[in-house]
Amino acid sequence: MIILGIDPGTAIVGYAVLRTTAQGTPELLASGAIRPRTLEKEGRLVEIRKQVVSLIDIHRPDTFALEKIFFSKNIKTALSVAEARGVLLLTAKERSIKVSEYTPSEVKLAVTGYGKADKQQVKAMVKAILKLRDAPALDDVADAMAVAITAFHLKSF
């Protein structure tokens, strides 16, 4: 089983590709950040879609794991993230990839055992679960890894 975990955004989209090993553990195949180069909103969304399609073509995921939008005090940010999520959901649908969605507290609970864990706790557990040498530098990448781990643990695909 291959899971593409995504932390949606418009400035940075974190992604992580996990595979289930023969031993039944998660293995990180790839991770990184999509950083659209254009300032134009529509151009950012097009670039996000192109890069996600490329990830799909390379890794052939069985499922997308997406973080749900957390109610934000900044409505403008929430709306732009919602637009990016729409592009991601459409891309998954076009490629017939099942989508699993999780709230930030569900992700924190699945990864750390505590639904109100902070970013550093999440990064530390991502590092331990995936047996990484170092914790991910970018929060967006760590969040994408955590979302993919959540899908792995909950087997909601």
pLDDT, one tens digit per residue, over 113-151 is 999 999 999 999 999 999 999 999 999 999 999 999 999
Active site residue 67: yes
Active site residue 57: no
User: pLDDT (tens digit, 9 = 90+) per residue, 16-44?
Assistant: 999 999 999 999 999 999 999 887 889 99
Task: Output the pTM of the full model.
Answer: 0.94
For the chain, give the percent of residues with pLDDT over 90: 83
Active site residue 106: no
3-class DSSP state of 38: coil
Q: What share of the chain is helix, strand, coil (3-state, %, to 5)?
A: 50, 20, 30
Which CATH number is 69's domain given? 3.30.420.10
Nearest to 64 by CA among 110, 136, 7: 7
Range of the domain at 150: 2-154
> Which residue among the candidates 40, 42, 67, 106 is catalytic per the annotation?
67
Structural domains counted in the chain:
1
> Which residue among the candidates 27, 134, 140, 143 is catalytic per the annotation?
140
3-class DSSP state of 101: strand
Q: Are 107 and 146 in contact (CB under 8 A)?
A: yes
